[in-house]
Amino acid sequence: MIRKKDLFLPPMEKDIVYMQRALQLAGLGMGYVSPNPMVGCVIVHNGKIIGEGWHQAYGGPHAEVNAVNSVENSDLLAESEVYVSLEPCAHYGKTPPCADLLAGLKVKKVFICNDDPNPLVAGKGIQKLLNAGIEVDSGILKEEGLHLNRRFFGFHKNKRPYIILKWAQTADHYIARENGDSKWISCELSRTLVHKWRAEEDAVMVGKQTALHDDPALNVRMWKGKDPLRLVIDRHLSLPAHLKVFDRSQPTVLYNTVRESEEESLTYVKCRNDNFFQDIWDDLYKRKILSVMVEGGTMVLNNLIAIGMWDEARVFQSNLSFGKGIAAPRLVSARQLSREPIGDDLLMIYQNDNTWQRI
């Protein structure tokens, strides 16, 4: 919470601090609001925060509504400044337009972090505020906002999900032993973190070999959150039915070149052999899947790296050495964003410099 000290901040610095808070609140929606963006809102009266809110669940009230409802003395609203991390919406969707709400309250000024790429909103939300005589300042902490909602912005711009590659490698850069066994390279804390990530992304993907040899459940067990959509690549539909990915415990899509069908929570999507991945992204775009975490194996990871079809990579490096085995993927056009210890491992996060410019 920002308290007394904000009274003494110069204007620009105060705007940054309040927008930082709006972005922090927005982040609380992670894993619950997709395919909507994460949005936070802070209402300030005379240098004091009098209301806060964020978009908490898909289909639920928007950030501005929650923030306005949290204000105890609504008489203060007309004298208040509003900091919202996304351009207030201008359309009747699951809720009425937030721009109308703020315009009706006749708030003093609205500070915005990012414009909304949604064609129903883009520019129209700001215009509604201006038409109501409300001052608008947009673009505050724009880069931070783009990063927070990189899945949402990337999805709308590129018309495909945001793709996160994830793998664990040994200190000597092997992803598996010679027999394909890749279990237990990373430590328990790293594996827990992967479960948190699964709850944050809309879908997780594995290739045939990983589904077969590791038999992963691809659900969220070591963390609290929703299970992602499971995506399995099995071009010739040769995977045996006893595998966990077929247990119907959570929605699963099998991408193949053989058939198209839907039974219970198991969906088969037929892709063209020569356009396999593009067909997958097109299908996921239609399903409004904003993000996919690719959990292996080596072939899928290497294929995606070779065609430059990834946005972010999260690589755990353990202190084990195998001496020989299957080489870990090597990223191309990668820029390291961070490097931090996770238990006994080192976690390195990279972004793809080529696709990042397009977000």
Q: What is the DSSP letter of 159?
A: S
- Does residue 62 touch Zn ion according to CB under 5 A? yes
Nearer to ligand AOF, 118 or 355 (CB): 118
Nearest approach in angstroms of CB 145 to Zn ion is 16
**Angle, helix 124-131 to helix 98-105, in steps of 10 degrees:** 20
Q: Residues binding Zn ion: what is the number (CB under 5 A)?
A: 3
Token pair recorded at residue 262: 């839907």
Determine the Cα–Cα distance for residues 350 and 10; give it in Å rounded to an integer.
35
- Does residue 41 touch Zn ion according to CB under 5 A? no
- Is 246:335 a contact under the CB 8 Å cutoff? no
Q: Of residues 52, 64, 201, 295, which has the active-site annotation?
A: 64
Nearest approach in angstroms of CB 120 to Zn ion is 10
- Does residue 186 touch ligand AOF according to CB under 6 A? no
* Residue from 26, 90, 98, 185 binding Zn ion (CB under 5 A): 98
- Does residue 121 touch ligand AOF according to CB under 6 A? yes
| Piece of 116-124, 277-285, 318-326, 344-352 that binds ligand AOF (CB under 6 A) | 116-124
Nearest approach in angstroms of CB 64 to Zn ion is 6
* Residue from 15, 52, 64, 200 binding ligand AOF (CB under 6 A): 64
Determine the Cα–Cα distance for residues 141 and 14; give it in Å rounded to an integer.
12
- Is 68:43 a contact under the CB 8 Å cutoff? yes
* Residue from 14, 21, 45, 55 binding ligand AOF (CB under 6 A): 55
Residue 37 binding result from ligand AOF, Zn ion, none, given CB thresholds of 5 to 8 Å by partner type: ligand AOF
Nearest approach in angstroms of CB 350 to ligand AOF is 28
- Does residue 36 touch ligand AOF according to CB under 6 A? yes
Nearer to ligand AOF, 98 or 292 (CB): 98
Token pair recorded at residue 4: 């007394």
- Is 82:99 a contact under the CB 8 Å cutoff? no
- Is 311:356 a contact under the CB 8 Å cutoff? yes
Nearest approach in angstroms of CB 42 to ligand AOF is 13
Determine the Cα–Cα distance for residues 183 and 165; give it in Å rounded to an integer.
17
Nearer to ligand AOF, 122 or 342 (CB): 122
- Is 29:39 a contact under the CB 8 Å cutoff? yes
**In sequence order, what are the beta bridge partners of 203?**
229, 292
Token pair recorded at residue 93: 């969707």
Residue 260 annotated in active site:
no
- Does residue 128 touch Zn ion according to CB under 5 A? no
- Is 205:232 a contact under the CB 8 Å cutoff? yes
CA dihedral 158, 288, 121, 20 (to 10 degrees): -80
| Piece of 33-41, 128-136, 137-145, 328-336 that binds ligand AOF (CB under 6 A) | 33-41
CA dihedral 22, 25, 27, 28 (to 10 degrees): -170
Nearest approach in angstroms of CB 109 to Zn ion is 18
- Is 41:54 a contact under the CB 8 Å cutoff? yes
**In sequence order, what are the beta bridge partners of 84?**
41, 112
Q: Residues binding ligand AOF: what is the number (CB under 6 A)?
A: 17
72 to 101, contacts with ligand AOF by CB under 6 A? 86, 88-89, 93-95, 98
- Does residue 126 touch ligand AOF according to CB under 6 A? no
Token pair recorded at residue 176: 């598996």
Question: What is the contact surface with Zn ion in residues (CB under 5 A)?
Answer: 62, 89, 98
Q: Which residues are catalytic?
A: 64
Contacts with ligand AOF, residue ranges (CB under 6 A): 36-37, 39, 55, 62-64, 86, 88-89, 93-95, 98, 116, 118, 121
